[in-house]
């Protein structure tokens, strides 16, 4: 009896080819901030753009709200180790890695969208180098609306800052608000509400938008729009995960990063305007006409943070600051 094996072989080959055509890489993207935040809007746009540009061959699962178990301060090492493929990280939490990461958080250095974008352009080569040396790929920067302060009572004068237990996001804010007479405490985003619940905090430094996402108005019904800095997150990727992609997929990742940066920076003013409307509906009092006396006191207090950063960053820091100030 003679058996014909060709049809069977052909069927197996067809199945294998179909599997190859449908081959998909799945990556994770971690973010400490909630799914309703401006940062998460950028994440979702990036994820959708990658899927579109790769024809679905690269799928990215989104884990906002610290649901992978990592905070921003953990992201750098977790991405290097491969525990996270892509991370959306508040840059101020990376100051211990390199002083360069503190530069966007320096008070009163970049207080408008145009200034923040100019600073990002100056810093991009440094980001590429630092992340590259840690086996990571720098993808893009995204902004938060300008930072203000949430308080229980209206904030009108420098004296109102005295001994105020205020949550701050990074070292430069600690230095500034301590010099201004407050009692600053560096608290991660996920720990703010528990600290407020136990009266461990009197005030919180955050954007208006960030505060609405965790209902800060329930604890702190006054918001003062200091607008002293535009905080940023950086989105960075494991080089190991990136290298496992095809050249076409790598190109798609970088194009999606550029597209997301353009999209999210373009939405900044709209998001801020909508947030103030949200605060009004929530019964939060918004002070956008901050007293010159208070602003002047904070600017003087920020001098120590700038000098400390220059001391730590050395010649590189001076060169970056000079380049920023010289840039058009």
pLDDT tens for the chain, 328 residues long, are 333 444 444 444 444 444 444 469 999 999 999 999 999 999 999 999 999 999 999 999 999 999 999 999 999 999 999 999 999 999 999 999 999 999 999 999 999 999 999 999 999 999 999 999 999 999 999 999 999 999 999 999 999 999 999 999 999 999 999 999 999 999 999 999 999 999 999 999 998 888 988 999 999 999 999 999 999 999 999 999 999 999 999 999 999 999 999 999 999 988 887 888 888 888 999 999 999 999 999 999 999 999 999 999 999 999 999 999 999 7
Selection from 206, 264, 256, 226 nearest residue 38 by Cα: 264
Distance (Å, rounded) from C-alpha 266 to C-alpha 128?
23
Residues 6+ apart with CB under 8 A from 18: none
What are the two backbone dihedrals, phi and then psi, of residue 303, each rounded to the nearest 5 degrees? -60, -35
Here the tokens at position 309 are 């950063």
Domains, the chain, with CATH or none: 25-145+231-273 (3.40.190.170), 147-229+275-326 (3.40.190.170)
Distance (Å, rounded) from C-alpha 285 to C-alpha 105?
26
pTM: 0.89
Selection from 217, 214, 229, 12 nearest residue 109 by Cα: 229
Distance (Å, rounded) from C-alpha 302 to C-alpha 312?
16
Buried b (16+ CB within 10 A) or exposed e, 296-316: ebbeebbeebbebbeeebeee
Distance (Å, rounded) from C-alpha 271 to C-alpha 278?
10
Distance (Å, rounded) from C-alpha 148 to C-alpha 276?
12
Laid out side by side, the sheet with 222-224 consists of: 183-186, 165-168, 203-207, 147-151, 222-224, 285-287
Q: What is the pLDDT of residue 157?
A: 95
């Amino acid at each position: 009896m003679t058996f014909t094996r060709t049809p069977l072989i052909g069927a197996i080959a067809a199945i294998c080819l179909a599997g190859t055509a449908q081959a998909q890489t799945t990556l994770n993207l971690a973010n400490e901030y909630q799914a309703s935040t401006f940062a998460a809007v950028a994440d979702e746009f990036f994820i959708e753009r990658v899927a579109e540009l790769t024809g679905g061959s690269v799928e990215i699962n989104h884990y906002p709200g610290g649901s992978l178990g990592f905070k921003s301060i953990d992201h750098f090492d977790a991405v290097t180790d491969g525990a996270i493929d892509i991370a959306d990280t508040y840059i101020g939490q990376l100051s211990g890695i390199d002083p360069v990461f503190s530069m966007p958080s320096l008070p009163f250095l970049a207080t408008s969208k145009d200034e923040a974008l100019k600073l990002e352009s100056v810093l991009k080569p440094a980001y590429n180098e630092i992340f590259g040396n840690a086996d990571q790929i720098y993808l893009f920067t995204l902004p938060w609306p300008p930072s203000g302060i949430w308080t229980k009572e209206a904030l009108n004068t420098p004296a109102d800052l005295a001994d105020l237990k205020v949550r701050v996001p990074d070292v430069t804010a600690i230095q500034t608000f301590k010099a201004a007479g407050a009692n600053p405490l560096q608290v991660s985003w996920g720990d703010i509400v528990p600290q407020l619940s136990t009266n461990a905090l009197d005030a919180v430094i955050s954007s208006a938008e960030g505060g609405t996402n965790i209902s800060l108005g329930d604890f702190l019904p006054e918001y003062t729009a200091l607008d002293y800095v535009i905080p940023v997150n950086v989105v960075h990727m494991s080089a190991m995960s990136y290298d496992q992609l095809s050249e076409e997929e790598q190109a798609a990742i970088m194009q999606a990063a550029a597209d997301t940066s353009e999209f999210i920076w373009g939405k900044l003013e709209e998001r801020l305007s909508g947030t103030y409307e949200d605060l009004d509906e929530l019964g939060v009092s918004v002070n956008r006409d901050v007293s010159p006396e208070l602003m002047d006191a904070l600017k003087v207090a920020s001098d120590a943070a700038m000098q400390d950063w220059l001391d730590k960053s050395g010649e590189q820091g001076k060169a970056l600051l000079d380049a920023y100030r010289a840039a058009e």
